[in-house]
Amino acid sequence: MNLAVVGLQWGDEGKGKIIDWLSSDSDFIVRFQGGNNAGHTVVINGKKFVFHLIPSGILRKGKVCVIGNGVVIDPEILIEEVTRLRKEGIEITPKNLKISLLSHLIMPYHRNLDALREKRRTNKIGTTKRGIGPCYVDKFSRCGIRVIDLIDPDVFKDKLADNLREKNPLFKDVFGAEPFSFEEILSQYSEFARILRPFAADTVETLRRAQEDKKSILFEGAQGTFLDIDFGTYPFVTSSNTISSAAGAGSGFPFLKIKKVLGVAKAYTTRVGQGPFPTEVEGKYSNFLREKGGEFGATTGRPRRCGWLDLVLLKRAAQLNGVTSLALTKIDVLDELSDIEICTSYKYKSKTAKNFPLSIKEWSSIKPVYRKFKGWNKPTTSIRSYAKLPTRTKDYINIIEDYLKLKVEFISVGSLREAVIKR
């Protein structure tokens, strides 16, 4: 069966772990948006594998990993990732890794522009400075450079020259920064082209054939619903659509053929970067969640902001994504807490908010309303069956299921690969 796995919060929901689990039953694993702003961590036999661009399904033999047209690729990072994973004993060949010819490339000027714009902004977004936003801007303003252009030297030269003609004055005159050298980028990217050419493919055709052969395809979302460029807490969002419907446009696969959407939510909430976060807490609970949950960015190492589970947010996310079932991760992080809070509604101007907040003004004035919950105070990390979970843990899960009218299908109880309960 074809399914999409998406994050229901602000990213870092632990999707990597769930995707790794599910990829054992999938033949193809596809990234469809974002770039190396993402970071998935998978722990196998105590060894940590970090992924930024390549789907974590690459860890399993016989799977085909696809980087779809909706992804923005920093070729330097992709090559580094391939080299690092190969050193760690993972086999990566043009047979098990396919990159869409239509994916857009992150160029050195995108990374610089990302950092310079961020520095100038009064209301900083807290981007990962990986050049994601500027690369998508170029894609939509139709001056982007794609993988298909990279491997055609004449086209590449032409497009690079055009871009530098426009961008170098911007760097020099607006930002007082160094311009980029055509020759340097050309020589660096020609080498990238040589290395990446064998992996470049018409991945629309790859996936069409997969479908014809009745293979099962897993679409791996990056970031999370509230970082979506349209439906997130704009402008504190990323520059792509992160919701499940982006899986179609970001891969060229007919979206009606994706039958299942698994929404991944952490048992509490975190956010990295700036922007609204109604259930954010400070002080002892925040520190506890950050330390116990290892809440530091896999990409930038930044400490994540931490807070309580927000069911209002999850409901909206479930609706936006058409979630068919849920995965709840890091439940074990709450094991030692006697008091837990769960946000069940928002107050706006001291009344229960009727509508989901859309403007930053509304976001900053709503107040979360909490349901107090007594914790289970028992370790759950070694539990592998739902029946054996403490009753209070099951109560916590029931509250989520009742509120969202969705079943929690997977519960992750630790960082180990096998620390998952499947119901």
Residue from 238, 286, 329, 412 that binds ligand IMP (CB under 6 A)?
238
The answer to whether 239 contacts ligand IMP (rule: CB under 6 A) is: yes
* 57 contacts 16 by C-beta, under 8 angstroms: no
| Span of 19-27, 125-133, 165-173, 183-191 interacting with ligand IMP by CB under 6 A | 125-133
Residue from 98, 111, 130, 305 that binds ligand IMP (CB under 6 A)?
130
| Span of 90-98, 126-134, 249-257, 390-398 interacting with ligand IMP by CB under 6 A | 126-134
Residue from 66, 73, 210, 272 that binds ligand IMP (CB under 6 A)?
272
Which of 20, 25, 27, 40 is flagged as catalytic? 40
**Between residues 176 and 301, which has the closer beta carbon with respect to ligand IMP?**
301
Handedness of CA 362, 364, 370, 373 (dihedral sign): positive
Residue from 248, 252, 263, 273 that binds ligand IMP (CB under 6 A)?
273
12 is catalytic: yes
Which positions from 207 to 226 touch ligand IMP by CB under 6 A, shown as an x/- string?
Answer: ---------------xx---
Q: Is 38 helix (H, G, I), strand (E, B) or coil?
A: coil
Output the smallest distance, CB 199 to ligand IMP, in A: 23
The answer to whether 303 contacts ligand IMP (rule: CB under 6 A) is: no
40 is catalytic: yes
Residue from 26, 37, 96, 251 that binds ligand IMP (CB under 6 A)?
37
Residue from 11, 75, 263, 414 that binds ligand IMP (CB under 6 A)?
11
Cβ atoms within 10 Å, residue 43: 16
Q: How many residues does the chain have?
A: 423
């927000």: which residue's tokens? 310
* 294 contacts 354 by C-beta, under 8 angstroms: no
The answer to whether 75 contacts ligand IMP (rule: CB under 6 A) is: no
The answer to whether 133 contacts ligand IMP (rule: CB under 6 A) is: yes
Buried b (16+ CB within 10 A) or exposed e, 366-402: bebbbeebebbeeebeebeeeeebbebbbebbebbbe
Distance between CA atoms of residues 306 and 18, nearest Å: 21
* 201 contacts 100 by C-beta, under 8 angstroms: yes
Handedness of CA 39, 44, 45, 49 (dihedral sign): negative
Q: What angle do CA 114, 120, 123 make, to 5 degrees?
A: 95
Give catalytic residues, as residue numbers.
12, 40
- Which residues would be at the binding site for ligand IMP (CB under 6 A)? 10-12, 37-39, 125-128, 130, 132-133, 222-223, 227, 236, 238-239, 272-273
